[in-house]
Structure 1
Amino acid sequence: MTRNDLILRPITGRDELALFTRLSYVLDEELEDDLAAGRRRPEWLWVALHDDKLLARVAWWCRVGDDSPFLLDVFDLADSADRVDVGERLLRAAMAEVVPAGTRPPEYGRFIPPDWRDDEVSRRVVEDRMAVLERTGARLFVERLRLEWRPGTPIPEPSGRLTFRPFRDTEEVLELMTRAMDGTLDAHSRDDLTRMPAREAAIRHYDDELAHYRSPRDWWRVATLPDGEPVGFVTPARNDYNAVIGYLAVLPEHRGNGYIDEILAEGTRILAARDVPRIRAATDLGNVPMAKAFGRLGYVNFERAITMTWE
């Protein structure tokens, strides 16, 4: 195939979603609603075509109200001998038009099977896409566990060691988030701390994620000792797609006392009481204490996710 044989272009609109979804991925069922809500735009969904055959596709996502893409979350290659080369050509062409000049490209995120390294087909799919992104200057940033609590899974009764209350105000949210940054095992937070103070990193995390939840903030809970001293917090919430445990932390001076299990149980209890079909959560593969806490409460590791970034 010559360079002139390949057509690289964005889709024209929702009328071409059938073309775009000739290759498949778990997010396909959300594309139409995302376009309608403004979380995606047709000019951010690109295809590589040869004789009307879809060889590759790429798409970006944003939060409602944003003017620029926040995440590269769809990137698929048809099975062909030159798939990596085709993918690179598509990604470079699309990035040149979608990513504002002079800015760092948005992160790439991909959901993958939990056993992807042990399955030959899954491994090739993941590694092909990583190879394309590496050619454009990206690197693997973190691998994460995607977790799910399902109705009927038992939730332990409160032990009485902790008391839970709503946050008083946004300032208290930011104060406790800032304190929780000390010794964090979260890769994104650790990276932020290399470039900014803990308070600024907390504000950034709040603005990028917590501020966009669709549920009431009075679901969020501060965990305290009987004398009122905070030991941690949790933000059970709804995002655009699921009920989630958004942020969970134990403050540094209280780590190692088993409080993480009780705080997670409280957040799960709040969402389960609303008859949600599932509760989603995620944590870095390297955050072993957090991963073990989810496992003890019956959360299932149904997927993993990889994140790649550009310098």
Structure 2
Amino acid sequence: MVIRPLVAGEENLFESMPDPLPQIRKMSYADGLELGGFRPSHTWVALRDGVVLARAAWVQPPGAVGEPWLERFDLAAEPALGADLLRAAHEALGGPKIYYAALPPYWRRVPQARAVVEPPMEAARLAGLVEGDERHRCTWAGTPLPEPSGRYTFRPAAGADEINDLVGKVAEPTLLTGSETALAVAGISLATDPQPWMGNGPSGWRIVLRHGEPVGLAGTSGDACFPQITYLGLFDEGALGDTLIDAVNALTAGGAREVVADVDGHRVAATAELERTGFRRLRSRIAFTPPSAG
């Protein structure tokens, strides 16, 4: 068994292992190399007789302020081999890095999916990474929206000060889409300071009102990788359904045909409201962090 990083010119070696989860939308390794996020020196393989039995690719976008994170990790062998690969790579990379395990929707209910995703996650545990929370990525793709309740009204944000004031009053946002990337790339917490990451000024923000008083806000991004509800925070959780409808309408008015949103797995009520609005799970993700960061 040989465990080592790739060298320039060996990019096809990574792709020689069939994708075990083709149903999950992901950037191809070739595209990641071209954009500069993937690098041969940050890509490791375990080979037996020239056949790739495990592969791992850490990504670090150009200009990112944070450390690389493990974005692709596939294993066609026992978890112990995957753990050996991770340990060797972690030593070369200066220590353990976060691993975001991408999972098919409802993977626990599907034996074939569990057979694919459980060995890499067990390898991560064996390598000392600590399993964290699960998040769901949901997508709306043209499903007819339900009728709003009519109890809430919406208007554009008056300006950056109003957005900052309301964000500061939200104890825990209901939706944060792409928060891991914002933190790793720019060191920005979407929960507490979303405006610098979104970069579109007040124009993408909608204020939620009941009886003329703000009860929350939603920040949308129409020019991200996918049009998305980047931030949604409420003081009145009953406004979630109407706020989702308003945010989708705002994005589709700008030309969006698809809208994505991330929700923490423990937010069962919020997940149900997304589904009622017409969102469907695209994938799930579990973070495995180094012990010092866990």
TM bucket (normalised to shorter chain) is: 0.7 to 0.9
User: What does 1:1-311 align with in structure 2 at a 5 Å threshold?
Assistant: 5-12=1-8, 15-23=9-17, 24=19, 25=21, 26=24, 29-66=27-64, 68-78=66-76, 80=77, 83-98=78-93, 100=94, 105-154=96-145, 156=147, 159=150, 161-166=152-157, 168-169=159-160, 171-181=161-171, 204-205=189-190, 211-213=196-198, 218-227=203-212, 229-238=213-222, 241-251=225-235, 254-255=236-237, 258-311=238-291
Q: Post-superposition shift, 1:146?
A: 2.1
What is the CA deviation profile of residues 261-303 of structure 1, one whole-angstrom value per residue up to 9, with x for unaligned ones?
1111111111122333421112112102211221121111232
1:67–1:179 Cα change, 3 Å:
closer
1:297–1:216 Cα change, 3 Å:
same
Contact (CA 8 Å) 1:146, 1:302: kept in 2 or not? yes
Worse overlay, 288-297 or 36-45: 36-45
1:152–1:125 Cα change, 3 Å:
closer
Mapped to 2, the partners of 1:146 and 1:305 lie a distance apart of 8
What is the CA deviation profile of residues 156-206 of structure 1, one whole-angstrom value per residue up to 9, with x for unaligned ones?
36826323212511x543432332125x6789xxxxxxxxxxxxxx96336
Overall identity of the aligned pairs, in %: 26
Mapped to 2, the partners of 1:220 and 1:237 lie a distance apart of 9
Matching residue's letter, 1:46: W
Matching residue's letter, 1:282: D
SS at match of 1:41: strand
Matching residue's letter, 2:133: V
Contact (CA 8 Å) 1:11, 1:47: kept in 2 or not? no
Mapped to 1, the partners of 2:121 and 2:47 lie a distance apart of 21
Q: Post-superposition shift, 1:216?
A: 6.0
SS at match of 1:44: strand
Mapped to 2, the partners of 1:65 and 1:207 lie a distance apart of 22
SS at match of 1:128: helix
Per the alignment, residue 181 of structure 2 pairs with none
Mapped to 2, the partners of 1:205 and 1:305 lie a distance apart of 18
1:174–1:38 Cα change, 3 Å:
farther
Matching residue's letter, 1:235: G
Q: Post-superposition shift, 1:49?
A: 1.8
> Pairwise CA RMSD of aligned residues?
3.0
| Count of equivalent residues | 278
Worse overlay, 121-130 or 204-213: 204-213
Worse overlay, 271-280 or 261-270: 271-280
What is the CA deviation profile of residues 218-267 of structure 1, one whole-angstrom value per residue up to 9, with x for unaligned ones?
1122223353x32111121147531111121112xx33xx2111111111
Higher helix content, 1 or 2: 1
Mapped to 2, the partners of 1:86 and 1:133 lie a distance apart of 11
Mapped to 2, the partners of 1:52 and 1:136 lie a distance apart of 24
Query: Where in structure 2 are there 5+ consecutive unaligned residues?
Result: 177-186
Mapped to 2, the partners of 1:155 and 1:64 lie a distance apart of 41
